Structure 1
Amino acid sequence: MKRITILCCTALLLTGGCTTKEPTAKEKQTPTKTTKKEAPEPEVKAIEYRDPPASAKTPAESIIHQMIVHFKNGEKKKPTKADIISEATIGRQSILTIHSPEGKNNYAFFYYEKKKKTNTWEISYIIRQRMGPRPKDMWDSNEEGLQLPMKTFDKLEADVNKDAHLWTLGDTKNNIVSIFTFKRSGAITDPAKEIVLKSKKQEAYLSVDTFNNPFLFYFDSGKVVMLSGNLSKEQLVHLADGLPSVHSSYFPRSPKS
């Protein structure tokens, strides 16, 4: 069984940890800062990723067996079904969002690909993100046109491969959303409700995952733009309608001139 272990160094724990072994699945994480008012949580020693069982048919079914968080006090935790926030899948690509067992303010976003040879879902990229309390100047703001339901938020972005890019955003009130763009290849047959983005004057598609969370996608010049997380349908539509062209150097922001 293939295992990937990411060790967290004590000296770097408050700034996001470190890796002592380069994992097969690429990983990115947000800088963190623990405030004095918070009760101390167990320190993470390492995060282990294992191959999923053959019976796992979806990313959500896979992750509850794949991820194991090892704490310095000897405890171990895995994600449960209750930790899964959303699973947005189009074709052979999926963004899985979970509340991470690392701590109460920790989240993780997984980019899964379904491999043609094995027909199994494999993790290709990981973003670990902490949304806990921090000084005001460590939060991003809404000043550049992102039509989000939160005024301040934490944001990370990553090139998951040469054709796909992922942005993850969230706040301390459990508002979580990801914006995923990837190259369109062939027809997309996933069932979805067709809507119109009024400002863009273009079609978009609303679907619901197996956890009853909506996700939205639309096409833009050879790319697919997909939004998922735990926002409402109305909030996703509002956010999508305000996004600039995917080829804009500012995407997903729309700074005022």
Structure 2
Amino acid sequence: MEITIQNQAIKAVIKTKGAELSLLQKEDKNYIWEINSEFWNKTSPILFPIVGALKNGEYFHEGKVYKLSRHGFARDFEFEVIENSENTVVFSLKSNEETLKVYPFHFELQLSYILEGNKLVVKYEIINRSSEKMYYSIGAHPAFNINGNFEDFSLIFDDEKDLETYKLEQDLFSGKTEILKLNGNVLPLQYELFEEDALVFKNFATKSLTLAKNNESVMKVSFPDFPYLGIWTKKDAPFICIEPWLGIADNANASGKIEEKEGIQILENNSKKQIAWSVELF
């Protein structure tokens, strides 16, 4: 099922499966890429309760081994619609018999989509309904349309500092880094940047990115509360993913203990965490 919200400026369509954004439209232009399974079969999946891959696809908690696939399971479940108005919709996913087999915490995850003028705000609320600490990560993975030549597009950063990227090998961090040089505060897009997987930034100072085409701003993605960021595409694919993360993939030398995982978040029993990102259309 799909839910549509709109105001006088923009319209959004979200699927109940995975609470996944599938259309973000201003006038006649859709800013979210339309699926072509030759490249990728998602548009904007939610990453929960982990971001990225685990070493050996598993983690340890209180002496037990649990298996979790890359980016977790939330994207694969039907969400319940718990609030819906003309310009707002709120989805909910609660722990169930199936999730407890791979993630032994009682939780509720709420996703809110809110239209504010030319801006879509995406809010996450993570609720720990367990009687113990809950370990989790969460992240966004929206794919934005590239209309025209990829090389005509660029990303504009908050400042002009060169960037350190952390290298992935077989989905895990290798410990290697690389300096990414900007042209002022601009990164011209080239498919060669992504030959070895995503560009990943840790403890990221930039809190927004503007996507531009031929130096003209297309959209601005803001993520003030997220310390990690991924940027990704595939060779010749007509999209660019700008991914704010609260958590990252495992290191190649990770212990596997979830409480020792780099970037893991801790939520005390019967407490909650709210975090949001947004995209403004020009």
Q: Which has the higher contact order (CA 8 A, sep 6+)?
A: 2
Greater strand percent: which structure? 2
**By the TM > 0.5 criterion, same fold?**
no
